[in-house]
């Protein structure tokens, strides 16, 4: 199992003002890289890259990460491949999950503009307390052994989703909802109504987990009505949680790297 060093997992930075100002529909950053990814990447860089590449990204001859001078990479996919494979010149191969890779690349592409002084630091331990307490996230979600199974399980969400996606999902859940998690409402021919989360579907049948956590399968021929909603049942936490609290929750979510 891969596990992030606790020091990295537990401390994630957050560009406060931008995030708080982030409107649901407006882009959070004018580039393709989200601020949360850049900030997450900065912590990963400090933990795993800085020893060789230096704080300015120019400690290796012929390479200047800050100015985008690479020996072997042009596009992001080149960078990703190079980081995973390593180099005979001395760079080790890195095993990174999706979140980490998105973060590292976002940071390397934005080292020049990144202002460490402008970020707030999220704390995963505080975030966990909010997740289980004030945020009431466990009412629908599960992380590890605790929480409800009705919503998507978040035990490895910190490995599967980028920091930017997680950040957006807290303030604009519908924008980040994966199609397979869309809420469905089923009305059977005898009038029974079942609400749940779609797990699988084909031309003739539909599989879901209902809002009591039971696995259900329906033949479409037996249904009077069947609707899939693009609206998430999850509330936006914008306004409910402060910028600091959102940063803490994000740090906690990014620490959820799966159990087994």
- Which residues would be at the binding site for other proteins (CB under 8 A)? 142, 145, 149, 153, 155, 199-200, 202, 204-205, 207, 209-210, 213-217, 219, 259-260
Percent helix, strand, coil in the chain, to 5, is 40, 20, 40
Hey, how many other C-beta atoms are within 10 angstroms of the C-beta on 133?
Answer: 10
Least distance from other proteins to the Cβ atom of residue 160, Å: 13
Least distance from other proteins to the Cβ atom of residue 203, Å: 11
Q: Nearer to other proteins by C-beta: 2 or 77?
A: 2
Q: Nearer to other proteins by C-beta: 106 or 253?
A: 253
DSSP 21: H
| Residues with Cβ within 8 Å of residue 125, at least 6 apart in sequence | 10, 252
Least distance from other proteins to the Cβ atom of residue 111, Å: 35
Q: Nearer to other proteins by C-beta: 117 or 260?
A: 260
Least distance from other proteins to the Cβ atom of residue 259, Å: 6
Least distance from other proteins to the Cβ atom of residue 128, Å: 18
37/45 Cα distance (integer angstroms)? 12
Q: Nearer to other proteins by C-beta: 67 or 259?
A: 259
| Residues with Cβ within 8 Å of residue 142, at least 6 apart in sequence | 148, 149, 151, 153, 154, 155
Beta-ladder partners of 120 = 14
Q: Nearer to other proteins by C-beta: 54 or 152?
A: 152
153/144 Cα distance (integer angstroms)? 8
Q: Are 98 and 160 a contacting pair, CB within 8 Å?
A: yes
């Amino acid at each position: 199992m891969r596990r992030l060093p606790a020091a990295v997992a537990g401390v994630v930075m957050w560009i406060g003002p931008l995030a708080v100002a982030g409107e649901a529909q407006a882009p959070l950053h004018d580039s393709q890289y989200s601020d949360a990814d850049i900030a997450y990447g900065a912590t990963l860089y400090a933990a795993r890259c800085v020893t060789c590449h230096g704080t300015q990204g120019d400690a290796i001859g012929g390479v200047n990460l800050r100015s985008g001078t690479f020996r072997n990479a042009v596009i992001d996919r080149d960078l990703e491949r190079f980081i995973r494979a390593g180099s005979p010149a001395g760079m080790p191969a890195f095993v990174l999950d999706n979140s980490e890779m998105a973060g590292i690349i976002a940071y390397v592409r934005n080292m020049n503009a990144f202002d460490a002084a402008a970020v707030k630091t999220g704390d995963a331990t505080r975030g966990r307390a909010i997740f289980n307490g004030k945020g009431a996230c466990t009412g629908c979600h599960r992380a590890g052994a605790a929480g409800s199974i009705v919503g998507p399980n978040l035990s490895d969400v910190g490995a599967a989703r980028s920091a930017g996606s997680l950040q957006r999902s807290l303030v604009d859940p519908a924008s980040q909802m994966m199609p397979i998690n869309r809420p469905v409402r089923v009305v059977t021919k005898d009038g029974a109504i079942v609400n749940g989360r779609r797990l699988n579907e084909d031309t003739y049948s539909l599989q879901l987990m209902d809002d009591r956590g039971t696995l259900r399968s329906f033949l479409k021929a037996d249904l009077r009505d069947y609707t899939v909603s693009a609206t998430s049942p999850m509330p936006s936490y914008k306004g409910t949680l402060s910028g600091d609290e959102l940063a803490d929750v994000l740090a906690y979510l990014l620490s959820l790297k799966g159990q087994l």
